[in-house]
A and B are shown apart, each in its own frame.
Chain A
Amino acid sequence: MANEKDAGNAQAANGNGKWNVPTGRRTDEWSTALVLIGESQDRGAFTRFFRHFAPLIKAFALSGSSLSATHADELVQEVMLKVWQKAGGFNPEKAAASTWVYTIARNCRTDMFRRLQKFDTPLASDDFELESEDEESFVVLHTRRGAERVRELMGDLPPDQAQILGKVYMEGKSHSEAAAELDLPLGTVKSRVRLAIQKLQGLMEA
């Protein structure tokens, strides 16, 4: 497939162009670990969590070769420390563990980019977090199942859509940066992203 080379760090497709489909049990294992960390500062659970997620966070940091290996290790440390500090606020009914870790990694990477570029802003990514609140419980269940469904459904996305989602979510490229890099019109990138999300979301809402 021509797209695989462009997809770079294998985040868009795993070798044969198909996504791995993790089992629900695996998701639960990490949610349980997070709850243990949050409730009883369980260092054993944290170490297990680290061994699973740290290599993924490092891969995230290195996507799109945006950070050096040293900075990638630094990002891993920052993210894992925040995991430890924020685990008490994790609600397994509300979000999947991987989504929760992703949002922390995304925020830390944004802040690191800004530090490295000496970007002077009064806002840190944490300022964007909303105060926690009670959403209706049916919405909550919906969200958690949604995360599992997204993983299953991503394997069915056409490669050109999967590739662009990978660029945006993992490599941290805006739509216009992705368009420039792939030498595509901005409208094409936007519509591929939109189509991909419709496919993932349409089924999430079903």
Chain B
Amino acid sequence: MVKHHPPTDFLTEYAAGVLPVAQSACVAAHLSYCQRCRQTVGKLEDIGGAHLEQLDPQPVGESVLERVMARLDDPEPLRYATSETSETALPGLLDRLINGDYADLVWKRVTQSLSISYLKTGDPNHEFALYRIAEGGRIPEHTHGGSEMTLVLRGGFADESGEYHPGDCVVREGWDKHTPVALEGEECICLAVLDAPLRFTRLRHRWLNPLLKLRAG
């Protein structure tokens, strides 16, 4: 049962189609876990439908209708199928980005218990990465200069403000410090979307900070 949800601001921007692509992908992945947010987004989309009906209609030439009618028998474009062999059991969209199994990704080891794999979304302002934390492992205390959106995909973690399980989505803004620790029993894999780099705050970890410069794109 998913207990942590993206703030309504994010869901509204998502429903209006104005949320940046990296954050949209994270929200979409959360929606695949969370019926409550799916319903909320449905309602927020109703606001879009209602607005559409209220617009001042703009004349459309007959030639546009003719061109559409002429294309009705065109074959439909093919869509990507979710791979059946994947072992990640992930929402289809993440499966597409990961394109295989966790093991096939390039993992960059940051500390003994933390590895990061950067995925490409094309978003020029947000880093989109998977964090892999060994069971019981700790991410050193850190802060962000901006916003951090985290979605648990496997295992779970706890920090100063709670415990998070698959499907849970947490958004943090600004300079809150926190020290996530993976739960015992299973490694934890999270999706993290950042608009400013992670900054370790403790002296003995700060030398790692240059390794963590933001990789948007």
CB distance from A45 to the nearest CB of B (A): 12
Task: Kindly state whether residue A127 has any CB partner on chain B within 8 Å.
Answer: yes
Q: List the B residue with the shortest CB-CB distance to A125.
A: B17
- Count of B interface residues, CB-CB < 8 Å: 58
In the complex the two chains form, what is the Cα distance from A103 to B47 in whole Å? 11
Q: Name the contact of B49 in the complex, choosing from A55, A58, A80, A101 (C-beta under 8 A).
A: A101
- Specify which chain A residues have a CB less than 8 angstroms from the CB of B42 in the assembled complex: 95, 99, 143, 146
Interface centre among B20, B39, B60, B74 (most CB of A within 10 A): B60
Given contacts A151-B53, A194-B8, contact A43 B69 (CB under 8 A): yes
Q: Taking the nearest CB of chain B, how far is it from the CB of A4, in angstroms?
A: 13
Interface SS, B side: helix
B68 CB–A CB distance under 8 Å? yes
Chain A residue contacts of B122, Cβ below 8 A: 119-123
Inter-chain CA distance A50–B13, complex, in Å, is: 28
How large, as a class, is the contact surface on chain A? 35 or more
Query: Looking at A46, A107, A151, which has the most chain B CB atoms within 10 Å of its CB?
Result: A151
B90 within 8 A of A: no
Report the bound CA distance from A41 to B76 in whole Å: 14
B51 within 8 Å of A (CB atoms): yes
Contact B55 A174 (CB under 8 A): no
A135 at the interface (CB under 8 A from B): yes
* B18 close to A168 (CB less than 8 A): yes
**Interface residue from A60, A73, A197 paired with B61 (Cβ < 8 Å):** A73
Interchain CB contact under 8 A, B39 and A55: no
CB–CB B67/A77 < 8 A: yes
Residues of B within 8 A of A50 (CB): 65, 68
Report yes or no: B121 in contact with A121, Cβ–Cβ below 8 A: yes
User: Mind listing 24 A-B residue pairs with CB under 8 Å?
Assistant: A43-B69, A50-B65, A56-B55, A57-B52, A72-B58, A73-B60, A80-B68, A81-B72, A85-B76, A105-B52, A106-B16, A109-B17, A110-B17, A121-B123, A125-B17, A128-B24, A128-B93, A150-B43, A165-B47, A168-B13, A169-B48, A177-B18, A190-B9, A197-B44
The residues of A with any CB-CB pair to B shorter than 8 Å are 9-11, 14, 19-20, 22, 41, 43, 46-47, 50-51, 54-60, 62-63, 72-73, 76-77, 80-81, 84-85, 95-96, 98-103, 105-107, 109-110, 119-123, 125-128, 130-131, 135, 139, 143, 146-147, 150-151, 154, 165-166, 168-170, 172-175, 177, 190, 193-194, 197, 200-201, 204
